[in-house]
Amino acid sequence: MNTMKWLVKREFWEHKGGFYWAPIVVGAIMVFFLAATVFSGVVMGHSHGFNINGNNVTAMTHDMSADERSQFAHGLATGYMGLAFPLFLVLGVVVFFFCLSALFDDRKDRSVLFWKSLPISDTETVLSKVAIAMAGAPLITVVLAFVVSFVSLVIICIGSALLGINVVGPVLSDPNLYLSPFEVAGVLPVYVLWAAPTIGWLMMVSAWARTKPFLWAVGVPVFAGTLLTWFNAIFSFGWDIRWFWQHIVGRGLGGTIPGIWFAYHPVPATALETANGMNANSHTGDMGAILMQSWHVLAEPDMWIGIAAGAAMIYAAIRLRRWRDEG
């Protein structure tokens, strides 16, 4: 019996909308607007000009040295995966609401009694949902992000060629073109591990709440934070309230926002731009540098405290699931 495999399939049947269609629709809209911008820029290029990643392409066409051209190509090949960043924001939202409903919806519609009539343990059920949140959904997003980024890159290359800058050769021969998707995928482990306390908290509330899981999940930490802030102000306790908001409320609710760990462990902007020999003047994100800096976060104790808290709350969700049926 390959129960896990079927439980994971089950989640995809139920959440096709969030896992496939939401990123596909957003990706399609992004590609559409990029294409519209680029090609209208090409048509009206000489009078208006247009920007890609902060580079004014029209201005560059007038007088672009071979050096500048290769730098432009390198920027594209290195940073094109960054064009799909909105898809990762979608992922953050989808994972948030998936976790919140994961152990609640089937109790609400009472189909939990059907799932519980089959030989599936609560541990398997909960872990299959954790696997979706932490591996399945992010991997799908990375694949879609690659497709969207690549199509965007092609559109930009065509647009540039129409303006007289042919960068296809240098882009294709740039190793970063091929490395970037893997570098983005390489950030995923950091993303899901950093999100562990949020995923754990949402799953626990999802397993526990009898009604309105969103209100409980968001309300409890925000209310606690507000109360503490208020006490602190009235009685002048001198508590570090910022710490509570950042490390309890923030880690418990905001963990699925991609790249949020940089807000906790800031790195100098230059560290993100120069690692692959990029020119510091370029504003293009460098995936290799983001990957390296992200993995540094694994050396931070708050990362591991978060993982432990997330694991504990997922265990609590399994225990809660045991005796909660409908209502």
Partner 1 sequence: MSAVISARALTKRYGKQLAVDNVSFEIPAGRIIGLIGPNGSGKTTTLKAVLGLIPFEGDLKVLGLDPSTQRDELMNQVCFIADVAILPRWLRVRDAVDFVAGVHPKFDRAKAERYLAHTKLTPSMKVKQMSKGMVVQLHLALVMAIDAKLLVLDEPTLGLDIIFRKQFYQNLLEDYFDEEKTIIVTTHQVEEIEHILSDLMFISEGKIVLSATMDEVGERFTEVMVPADRVEAAKALKPIDERQVFGKSVMLFDGVPRTQLATLGETRNVGIADLFVATMKGTYA
Interface ranges with partner 1 (CB under 8 A): 1-3, 5-7, 9-10, 13-14, 106, 109-111, 113-114, 116-121, 322-323, 325
Shortest Å, Cβ 217 to partner 1: 22
Nearest distance from residue 121's CB to partner 1, in Å? 4
CB of 68 to partner 1, least distance (A): 53
Asked whether 285 and 73 are in contact (CB, 8 A), the reply is: no
φ/ψ of residue 325, rounded to 5: -110, -140
- Residue whose CB is less far from partner 1, 128 or 160: 128
Closer residue to partner 1 in complex, CB, 251/321: 321
Residue 107 C-beta: closest distance to partner 1, Å = 11
Nearer to partner 1 by Cβ, of 111 and 226: the residue is 111
Residue nearer to partner 1 on the CB measure, 78 or 128: 128
Q: Are the C-beta atoms of 142 and 128 separated by less than 8 Å? A: no
Q: Is 269 exposed, middle or buried (0-12, 13-18, 19+ CB in 10 A)?
A: exposed
Q: Could you give the angle at which helices 175-194 and 301-323 cross, rounded to 10 degrees?
A: 60
Residue nearer to partner 1 on the CB measure, 117 or 211 = 117
Q: Which of 201, 190, 177, 179 is nearest to 80 (CA)?
A: 177
Give, as one character, the DSSP assignment of residue 136: I
CB of 21 to partner 1, least distance (A): 13
User: Taking the CA atoms of the chain, what radius of gyration do you get in angstroms?
Assistant: 23
